[in-house]
Structure 1
Amino acid sequence: DLAHTKWLCKYHIVFTPKYRRKIIFNQYRRDLGEILRQLCNYKGVEILEGHLMPDHVHMLVSIPPKLSVSTFMGYLKGKSALMMFDRHANLKYKFGNRHFWSEGYYVTTVGMNEKTIRKYIQDQEKADIMKDKLSVKEYEDPFKFTEK
């Protein structure tokens, strides 16, 4: 019970799908975001900032002190994988043995530099979008003559 406790426990967490498959930006992005939000609400974890990148997830979260980061991450990755496999049965065959996420994660505590980390997470997505725009290939031959 945290009734008489004041706390500020913020963490920057990054984790990846198995083999860093670029599955998050496809048709599963909306469902995955909804699942992660739902699971965080169940545990009383507040998502301060979060972005689903093509091959990894960035989250800035506030985790209650009664819950360890490792326990929360085990819960989040385990339950989200099961929920994704329940919603999308075809994923069971793409991800053998029901492993959606890769092992491990990156976590760092956030002190007073929360604004810096928020900006980093937001800029990371912008940089990815710009990189994708720059690498777009032309699928039509620009030298092909077309008759009107």
Structure 2
Amino acid sequence: MPYWKLYYHFIWGTKNRLPLIDSILEPELYRAIAAKAQDMGGFVHAIGGIEDHVHLGVSIPPKIAPAKFIGDVKGNSSHFINHVIQPDFEFYWQDEYGVLSFGERNLASVVRYIHNQKQHHANGTLISAMERIEEG
């Protein structure tokens, strides 16, 4: 088994940034995201977000491209919501996403930031680089 320490912070939103992730849907969605990440050999450090977007702090093996990883996680989680949870609306992710890499020494602060998403959005203490999803 090769040795690797790769840390990523992914950010992605619901289609049209609709506020679909409520307190009932959130735990099921986060479990689906974590399960798919683990199925792909990833290690989830943190999942958090608000009604219209999700943050994922994760380590993924070098054999998996970040674009492939996030595409599979997003596809699997939206399929799970639509076909297993079956809410009274259709759940889709926007096509875009943001990804940042970071070093092990920053892991604790990134995990804290992800876990405290609701407070950061409520208090206006966002870190803009950790909130970007698309170019622009």
Same amino acid, percent of matched pairs: 25
1:23 aligned to 20, 25, 47, which one? 20
Count how many residue pairs are aligned between Structure 1 and Structure 2: 123
Give 1:115's aligned amino acid.
A
TM-score w.r.t. length of structure 1: 0.74
Q: 2:132 aligns to what?
A: none
Structure 2 alignment gaps of length 5 or more: 125-136
Say whether residues 1:12 and 2:5 are aligned partners. no
| CA distance in structure 1 between the partners assigned to 2:70 and 2:33 by the alignment | 11
**CA displacement at 1:127 relative to structure 2:** 2.8
8 Å CA contact 2:48–2:116 kept in 1: the answer is no
TM-score w.r.t. length of structure 2: 0.80
| CA distance in structure 1 between the partners assigned to 2:30 and 2:115 by the alignment | 16
Which secondary structure state, in structure 1, belongs to the residue aligned with residue 99 of structure 2? strand
| CA distance in structure 1 between the partners assigned to 2:87 and 2:114 by the alignment | 31
Which secondary structure state, in structure 2, belongs to the residue aligned with residue 48 of structure 1? strand
Q: 1:113 aligns to what?
A: 106
Kindly report the root-mean-square deviation, in angstroms, between the aligned alpha carbons of the 2 structures.
1.9
**CA displacement at 1:122 relative to structure 2:** 3.2
Consecutive aligned runs of 4 or more in structure 1 exceeding 3 Å deviation: 88-91, 128-131
8 Å CA contact 1:33–1:52 kept in 2: the answer is no
**CA displacement at 1:104 relative to structure 2:** 1.3
Which secondary structure state, in structure 2, belongs to the residue aligned with residue 35 of structure 1? helix
| CA distance in structure 2 between the partners assigned to 1:114 and 1:49 by the alignment | 10
The structure with higher relative contact order (CA 8 Å, sep 6+) is 2
| CA distance in structure 1 between the partners assigned to 2:45 and 2:87 by the alignment | 32
Q: How does 1:56-135 map to 2 (within 5 A)?
A: 56-91=53-88, 94-95=89-90, 100-111=92-103, 112-128=105-121
8 Å CA contact 1:11–1:110 kept in 2: the answer is yes
Which secondary structure state, in structure 2, belongs to the residue aligned with residue 23 of structure 1? coil
